[in-house]
């Protein structure tokens, strides 16, 4: 059963089993819509970041964030630009900004910036390439690098420097393609785009596993200005483009899905397991400028990791795809890199506040340098079962009553780690859980 401290919640009952994902608007609207902004979701801080673009063809340094309730300023830093890209670097817990130009292809930027609540410029020994218009920036979860791809140019950011990769078998040259990381198959997906010699969109799909490129069989939808994000719970890539088209890719087959509201940059909200589009084009009438739409499946069970762990190597919590948080089922979380094989799991009802203090919170002052408190730790702490010399498993029986569908809570493990730091403990990444009916 759930911890005895379970508060009273109001739920939307009657979730349909295995509902088809749909697009719906989320309010309030972004108060400062501009053309050509880029967006990224910071799942450590649970914030959506919007940066840059142009107003009346004049580049902007707009920077605002959305916390699920309201929009606020995100701080100043990078020069005004458009046609840049953003990606959340989960290993280092910061959003990376690269490329773009000062308007009409002039002054192409080769700087590197990161956002972690405020902007800081990085000065790598090898700068990124001068890129603007139609490149992609994607985080590789397994190799913990950010991949920049444009045409036949491939670079990777390891948090310190940019490394150029020159593997054989590059996809045919393209621009304005879509990219997303397939965490189940451990590969970067590239789809479509526009060839150098033609204005017609492409429909091919390629995968980069860090060693070689591979063209995937079959042909996908040839969409103009496609955007792609990966759904790790349903194991599909979500593609939008060509106006209001929306497709899903299961690794083999492309399938038409619910129409999107229109063209807009897209990112993935990991804690709520949904695609997000922000319509930042000034002057448009529909969708409303500044409006935000999400693509999600009501009733879906969610157990998604967020944030980063500490330790050497870092303590890691992973959801078991075969033990998801279903009504009446048993949730399973595996803990890795526990130095003694012992671990404990903390519960929290919030990922934003703990005892009135904002989360996430660095734990350096408590003798835990490099560690983060990622949930409110206000429910209960339970031991995990040791499964190996450095592994443990947490299981949790969930209620079967339909009124619990949609209940969200947060889990974060810690483990004894003698000698690793003054506190002698390591803290792992967290897991955002939503109880679902399918």
- % of residues, the chain, pLDDT over 90: 82
Domains of the chain: total: 2
User: Has residue 4 got a pLDDT over 90?
Assistant: no
The predicted-structure confidence for 118-162, as pLDDT tens digits, reads as follows 999 999 999 999 999 899 999 999 999 999 999 889 999 999 999
Q: Do 245 and 96 reside in the same domain of the chain?
A: yes
Q: Do 166 and 240 reside in the same domain of the chain?
A: yes
Residue 110 is predicted with a pLDDT of: 96
pLDDT band of 106, cuts 50, 70, 90: confident
Q: Do 418 and 330 reside in the same domain of the chain?
A: yes
User: Has residue 18 got a pLDDT over 60?
Assistant: no
What number of CA atoms fall less than 13 Å from residue 426's CA on the CB side?
A: 27
The predicted-structure confidence for 362-371, as pLDDT tens digits, reads as follows 999 999 999 9
The predicted-structure confidence for 278-323, as pLDDT tens digits, reads as follows 987 655 556 777 789 999 999 999 999 999 999 999 999 999 999 9
Q: What is the mean pLDDT of the chain?
A: 91
CATH at 348: 2.60.40
What does the DSSP 8-state code read for residue 365?
G
Residue 7 is predicted with a pLDDT of: 38
Structure tokens at 142: 């397994």
Domain membership flag for residue 110: yes
Q: Do 152 and 178 reside in the same domain of the chain?
A: yes
| Rounded CA separation 67/79 (Å) | 24
If we measure between CA atoms, which residue out of 16, 4, 63, 97 comes closest to residue 300? Answer: 16
Q: Which residues contact 98 (CB under 8 A, 6 or more apart)?
A: 84, 85, 109, 112, 113, 128, 131, 137, 148, 157
Which of 265, 297, 329 is the last residue in one of the domains?
Answer: 297
Q: Do 207 and 243 reside in the same domain of the chain?
A: yes
pTM of the model: 0.92
Q: Do 268 and 136 reside in the same domain of the chain?
A: yes
CATH at 290: 2.120.10.80
With H, G, I as helix, E, B as strand and everything else as coil, classify residue 89.
strand
User: Has residue 13 got a pLDDT over 70?
Assistant: no
Q: Do 265 and 135 reside in the same domain of the chain?
A: yes
- Exposure pattern of 292-320 as b/e (b: 16+ CB <10 Å)? bbbbbbbbbbbbbbbbbbbbeebbbbebe
Other beta carbons within 10 Å of 44: 25
More confident of the two residues 203 and 280: 203
Q: Which domain holds residue 419?
A: 303-434
The predicted-structure confidence for 153-173, as pLDDT tens digits, reads as follows 999 999 999 999 999 899 999
What does the DSSP 8-state code read for residue 297?
-
Instruction: Give strand pairing partners of 228.
Output: 239
Alpha carbon of residue 392 to chain centroid: 26
Domain membership flag for residue 31: yes
Residue 218 is predicted with a pLDDT of: 84
The predicted-structure confidence for 28-60, as pLDDT tens digits, reads as follows 887 776 888 999 999 999 999 999 998 888 899
């Amino acid at each position: 059963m759930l911890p005895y401290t379970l508060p009273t919640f109001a739920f939307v009952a009657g979730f349909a089993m295995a509902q088809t994902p749909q697009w719906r608007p989320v309010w309030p609207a972004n108060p400062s819509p501009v053309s050509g902004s880029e967006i990224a979701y910071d799942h450590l801080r649970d914030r959506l970041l919007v940066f840059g673009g142009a107003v009346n063809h004049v580049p902007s340094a707009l920077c605002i964030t959305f916390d699920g309730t309201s929009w606020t300023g995100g701080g100043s830093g990078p020069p005004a630009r458009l046609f840049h890209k953003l990606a959340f670097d989960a290993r280092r817990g910061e959003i990376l900004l690269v490329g773009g130009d000062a308007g009409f292809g002039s002054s192409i930027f080769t700087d590197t910036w990161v956002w972690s609540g405020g902007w800081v410029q990085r000065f790598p020994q090898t700068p990124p390439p001068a890129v603007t218009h139609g490149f992609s920036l994607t985080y590789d979860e397994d190799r913990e690098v950010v991949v920049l791809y444009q045409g036949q140019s491939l670079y990777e950011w390891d948090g310190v420097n940019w490394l150029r990769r020159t593997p054989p078998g590059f996809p045919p040259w393209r621009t304005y393609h879509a990219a997303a990381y397939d965490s189940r198959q451990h590969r970067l997906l590239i789809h479509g785009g526009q060839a150098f010699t033609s204005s017609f969109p492409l429909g091919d799909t390629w995968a980069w596993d860090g060693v070689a490129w591979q063209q995937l069989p079959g042909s996908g939808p040839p969409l103009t200005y496609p955007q792609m994000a990966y759904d790790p719970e349903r194991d599909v890539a979500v593609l939008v483009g060509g106006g209001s088209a929306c497709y899903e890719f299961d690794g083999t087959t492309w399938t038409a899905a619910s129409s999107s509201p229109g063209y807009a940059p897209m990112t993935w909200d990991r804690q709520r397991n949904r695609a997000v589009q922000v319509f930042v084009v000034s002057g448009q009438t529909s969708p409303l400028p500044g409006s935000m739409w999400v693509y999600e499946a009501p009733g879906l069970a969610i157990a998604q990791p967020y944030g980063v762990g500490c330790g050497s190597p870092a303590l890691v919590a992973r959801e078991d795809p075969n033990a998801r948080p279903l009504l009446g089922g048993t949730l399973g979380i595996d803990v890795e890199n526990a130095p003694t094989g012992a671990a404990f799991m903390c519960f929290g009802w919030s990922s934003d506040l703990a005892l009135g203090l904002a989360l996430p919170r660095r734990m350096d002052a408590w003798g835990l340098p490099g560690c983060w408190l990622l949930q409110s730790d206000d429910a209960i702490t339970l031991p995990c079962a040791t499964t190996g010399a450095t592994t443990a498993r947490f299981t949790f029986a969930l209620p079967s009553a339909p009124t619990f569908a949609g209940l969200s809570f947060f889990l974060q493990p810690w483990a004894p780690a003698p000698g690793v730091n003054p506190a002698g403990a390591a803290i792992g990444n967290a897991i955002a859980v939503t109880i679902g009916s399918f």
